[in-house]
Amino acid sequence: MNMILLKNVSYLNIEKEKIEDNYDILIENNKISKISSKIDIKADKIIDCSGKLAVPAYTNGHTHLGMTMMRNLADDLDLNTWLNEKIWPVEDKLTSEDIYWASMLSIVENIKSGVGTVYDMYYSMDRVSDGIIESGIRGVLTRGMMDISGGGDERIDELLELYKNYHNSGNGRVKIVPAPHSIYTCSKEYLIKLMDIAASFDGVINTHLSETKKEVEDCLKEHSTTPAKYLNDLGMFDLKVVAAHCVHLTDEEIDLISEKDVYPIYNPSSNLKLASGFAPIDEMLKKGIKLGIGTDGSSSNNNQDLIEEMHIGSIVNKAVTLDATSVPAIEILKMATLNGGKLTGFNNGIIVENALADIALYDLNALGFTPKNNMISALCYSTNSNYVTDLIVDGKVIMENREILTVDEEKIKYEVNRLTEKLLKR
Amino acid sequence: MNMILLKNVSYLNIEKEKIEDNYDILIENNKISKISSKIDIKADKIIDCSGKLAVPAYTNGHTHLGMTMMRNLADDLDLNTWLNEKIWPVEDKLTSEDIYWASMLSIVENIKSGVGTVYDMYYSMDRVSDGIIESGIRGVLTRGMMDISGGGDERIDELLELYKNYHNSGNGRVKIVPAPHSIYTCSKEYLIKLMDIAASFDGVINTHLSETKKEVEDCLKEHSTTPAKYLNDLGMFDLKVVAAHCVHLTDEEIDLISEKDVYPIYNPSSNLKLASGFAPIDEMLKKGIKLGIGTDGSSSNNNQDLIEEMHIGSIVNKAVTLDATSVPAIEILKMATLNGGKLTGFNNGIIVENALADIALYDLNALGFTPKNNMISALCYSTNSNYVTDLIVDGKVIMENREILTVDEEKIKYEVNRLTEKLLKR
């Protein structure tokens, strides 16, 4: 049995919304087995956590790990020019090896901002699954599917194969979920087919929803209703739904979502940078909706820094609502922890006995924690991803003193640089 | 003569809006004396800049260095509760030693995000000047002045003393500028008095302007005009004005500012977090207004990370205007460099021959620069303050491989923690 003992820990008790001081935390295999003021036991590894702050490892609720080669390739452009002229022509030429190495780079960035679980939608997901397994983190891996340009059935064959080969692999760290890309890239029939498949898997489905005004306007024209209502009418909301973006929801749709098992994922940087708009986060919180938070892909964000995402995600809403009390630090932290655990189904994102041992450690001696006033504020407003020193996922140390132990960061950077050069010449 | 030779440099040519590759840069005393494809000379120090990117050291256009002890002390509160119940009662108890150490901490944070010049408004500015001189960076230090609660004349005496003792001190790295705090804390007579003093100094004045809707409404009630017009009517805009915030300007005021020597300073994080609103950055840029960018104090931001500020400052505007092409990366970089040099009067913020030798180096091997697509995008969107490895100011190396050479970071953190504990018990 693998045992890790964290000594002298201060940790974020996310349910009680406070920092607990002076505890020892025992990890046995992949679980937190005991939290007590003093544990003396001969563990395989003892980590002295004096001067550290432990938080539940974060969940990046929506990303496209494989898009990193298009990072900084085209910015400050409107969405259509960006997608049609810049991103899609390059994306078309990506090989599965490109996607593997790009995903590895994104995984490294996620680990370095304390992320233990990613919710990733892309293709070549067999290779992405390999990368997740090697890296030691968790992934809900969703195959982005569309049929408007044909190939819908082949995608389904791939999905079924992927599910067979990878679902619950890596000691249960990988889950496969179907992901109709969006209402504008999937026919009604295809959406229904994928819902049926989702029901035959774990009853979970992932999609982009109401990202832009145009999507809503087109939906109104074509289906005489708004996107969330359209999906609900098709029966999708009888499943557990993880819906990225949700920027342009009507009040009626917010009510609808609050009654269903739907997790909107907030992607503030991407929504701002692509000029999609401001998601109604304050309204959704007030309706008790469980929100996740994500970085989106590095071609739109352009990074995988969930800690910066939390910061931006909180403060931008205050200006939207003209209310400085809206979307406080603790709510943003819940999106990245507790809610993250629920929306992925891993039920991690919390430091309690019997929870999965997914923990990130921060260096409390860092500038942003000085002086030591409210630590919950510090986590959201004054610290950054470089203050995360260690990451434990599934009871294993993945990063120690900012060195990633599972994969070779330098090799990954080298390969991404090399392959991007080749890609852009193709 | 002190000579530093930077070999094999890639650097940001901010005027040409591009990265120049394969240059050597020679620094003699405090100036860049030569930029050429190959310089062979026996310098006191040779820095191999292969794998580095040089940018002009940034200018933090508006901050309150001395407010760091109130960082994370009170957040997610409306402006009035925050100021009246939380910040001011503590601020009242600050000693000049508190302000010195708090400022030193802020200076360290600024250095670590590549900032070589700060534009700082606060009090106990003699001690802040000492700190600036010790740290090796530049500071325009402005004594925040108000007379609504009395004491206006004593403040003036202090200002004159400060000017006499510190203006152009530290090899010219310190400038003293008068700063009426705002139109709502200064009487008309006091504003005019300070304008006269400013004219007798370097002809520069610093103030907060149109930060909140309330300020505008109150101004309309009391003076039957809007804040910028009110100040212009008093003659302030015949001086060079550095005006923090400028969130709530009318179109007429934007036109007015575009015709005058007024530099609005954009403080995105603070304006968002305090729910002040969205400054009309896109409109101001379109009118050719020279903008600076700043972090504001750590009690409202809550950090001193100008690189994050650039990121947030760019993307938030795109959602405000619903135009992804607005406020592009290069414009934000100009605010922090070229414009910074102009608004401070140091005329740094540019890497050309004969400019002041104020240069920050980034590690190009860092994650956010991988892959190597558009480096200007990378500087704004995908990198962070921890990628800055070295900082040269006034021809001296202030930070080397993230270690600050001029002041003792650990001692500063220790003192800030110790003094904050004492402060909160007083």
Q: What is the mean pLDDT of residues A207-215?
A: 96
Average pLDDT, rounded, for chain B? 96
Residue B80 above 80 pLDDT? no
Residue-level pLDDT at A84: 85
**Best CATH choice for the domain A3-57+355-404 from the list 2.40.30.10, 3.10.20.600, 2.30.40.10, 3.40.50.300:** 2.30.40.10
Give every CB contact of residue A24 below 8 A, 6+ residues apart in sequence. A5, A6, A7, A8, A9, A34, A35, A36, A37, A38, A39
Long-range pairs, A407-416, Cβ under 8 A, ≥24 = A407/A104, A407/A107, A407/A108, A407/A134, A407/A135, A409/A108, A412/A101, A412/A104, A412/A105, A412/A108, A413/A105, A413/B365, A413/B367, A413/B370, A415/A101, A415/A104, A416/A68, A416/A69, A416/A101, A416/A102, A416/A104, A416/A105, A416/B370, A416/B371
Residue-level pLDDT at B218: 97
Residue A80 above 80 pLDDT? no
For residue B318, list chain A residues with Cβ-Cβ distance below 8 A: 272-275
Identify whether the C-beta of residue A347 lies closer than 8 Å to the C-beta of residue A14.
no
Residue-level pLDDT at A175: 98
Q: Distance (Å) from the C-alpha of residue B314 to the closest C-alpha of chain A? A: 8
Is B282 annotated among the ligand-binding residues?
Answer: no
Q: Express each pLDDT in A170-203 by its tens digit.
A: 999 999 999 999 999 999 999 999 999 999 999 9
Q: Supply the pTM of this predicted model.
A: 0.97
Q: Which of residues 279-298 of B touch A (CB under 8 A)?
A: 298
Is B64 annotated among the ligand-binding residues?
Answer: yes
A328 touches chain B (CB under 8 A): yes
Q: How sure is the predictor about A83, in pLDDT bands with cuts at 50, 70 and 90?
A: confident
Is A64 annotated among the ligand-binding residues?
Answer: yes
Residue-level pLDDT at A405: 98
- Coil, strand, or helix at residue A264? strand
B187 touches chain A (CB under 8 A): no
Q: Distance (Å) from the C-alpha of residue B116 to the closest C-alpha of chain A? A: 18
Is A181 annotated among the ligand-binding residues?
Answer: yes
Residue-level pLDDT at B83: 82
Q: Which site among B67, B71, B84 would you substitute to test the A interface, given the most A Cβ atoms closer than 10 Å to its Cβ?
A: B71
Q: Express each pLDDT in A153-171 by its tens digit.
A: 999 999 999 999 999 999 9
Q: How far is CA B294 from CA A91, A325, B263, B309, B333, in A?
A: 37, 23, 12, 7, 12
Q: What is the mean pLDDT of residues A386-394?
A: 97
Identify whether the C-beta of residue A112 lies closer than 8 Å to the C-beta of residue A384.
no
Q: How many CB atoms lie within 10 A of CB A158?
A: 17
Residue B374, CB-side half-sphere exposure with 13 Å CA sphere: 20
Residue A79 above 80 pLDDT? no
Q: Distance (Å) from the C-alpha of residue A66 to the closest C-alpha of chain B? A: 13
Residue-level pLDDT at B403: 98
Give every CB contact of residue A95 below 8 A, 6+ residues apart in sequence. none
Question: What does residue A288 show for φ and ψ, rounded to 5 degrees?
Answer: 75, 15
Q: What is the mean pLDDT of residues A357-364?
A: 98
Residue A75 above 90 pLDDT? no
Residue-level pLDDT at B88: 87
Cβ–Cβ below 8 Å for B76 and A323? no
**Closest to B145 (Cα-Cα) out of B112, B109, B183, B186:** B186
Residue A236 above 90 pLDDT? yes
Whole-angstrom Cα distance, residue B322 to residue A177? 33
- Coil, strand, or helix at residue B60? strand
Q: Express each pLDDT in B151-161 by its tens digit.
A: 999 999 999 99
Identify whether the C-beta of residue B203 lies closer than 8 Å to the C-beta of residue B197.
no
CATH architecture of A58-344: Alpha-Beta Barrel (3.20)
Q: Write the residue in A75, A371, A383 that is nearest to B329 by C-beta.
A: A75
What string of DSSP letters covers A292-319? EE----TTTS----HHHHHHHHHHHHHH
A321 touches chain B (CB under 8 A): yes
Strands (E), B43-193: 45-48, 52-56, 58-63, 115-122, 138-145, 174-180
Residue-level pLDDT at A76: 86
Q: Write the residue in B77, B109, B319 that is nearest to A271 by C-beta.
A: B319
Q: What is the SS3 assignment for A362-401?
A: EECCCHHHCCCCCHHHHHHHHCCHHHEEEEEECCEEEEEC
Residue-level pLDDT at B82: 84
Q: Distance (Å) from the C-alpha of residue A238 to the closest C-alpha of chain B? A: 33
Helix-strand-coil split of chain B, %, nearest 5: 45, 25, 30
Is A248 annotated among the ligand-binding residues?
Answer: no
Whole-angstrom Cα distance, residue B299 to residue B103? 12
Is A403 annotated among the ligand-binding residues?
Answer: no
Cβ–Cβ below 8 Å for B71 and A373? yes
Q: Express each pLDDT in B112-138 by its tens digit.
A: 999 999 999 999 999 999 999 999 999
Cα-Cα-Cα-Cα torsion B74, B76, B82, B86, nearest 10 degrees, comes to: -20
Residue B41 above 80 pLDDT? yes
Enumerate the domain spans of chain A. 3-57+355-404, 58-344
Identify whether the C-beta of residue A350 lies closer than 8 Å to the C-beta of residue A341.
yes
Give every CB contact of residue A28 below 8 A, 6+ residues apart in sequence. A1, A2, A3, A395
Q: What is the mean pLDDT of residues B324-351?
A: 97
Question: How, if at all, do strands A403-404 and A396-400 pair?
Answer: antiparallel
Which tokens hold the place of A423?
A: 């890609």
Give the lowest-confidence range in A25-34, A73-82, A84-93, B39-48: A73-82
Q: Which of residues 251-270 of B touch A (CB under 8 A)?
A: 269
Q: What is the mean pLDDT of residues A34-48?
A: 96
Cβ–Cβ below 8 Å for A370 and B105? yes
Q: How far is CA A336 from CA A81, A86, A107, A371, in A?
A: 32, 31, 16, 24
Residue-level pLDDT at A188: 97
**Chain A residue with minimal CA distance to B98?**
A371
Q: Express each pLDDT in B163-196 by its tens digit.
A: 999 999 999 999 999 999 999 999 999 999 999 9
Average pLDDT, rounded, for chain A? 96
Question: What does residue B356 show for φ and ψ, rounded to 5 degrees?
Answer: -60, 145
Q: Distance (Å) from the C-alpha of residue B380 to the closest C-alpha of chain A? A: 9
Question: How, if at all, do strands B115-122 and B58-63 pair?
Answer: parallel
Q: How sure is the predictor about A74, in pLDDT bands with cuts at 50, 70 and 90?
A: confident
Cβ–Cβ below 8 Å for B413 and A365? yes
ipTM, 2 dp: 0.96
Which tokens hold the place of B1?
A: 């003569």
Whole-angstrom Cα distance, residue B185 to residue B227? 13
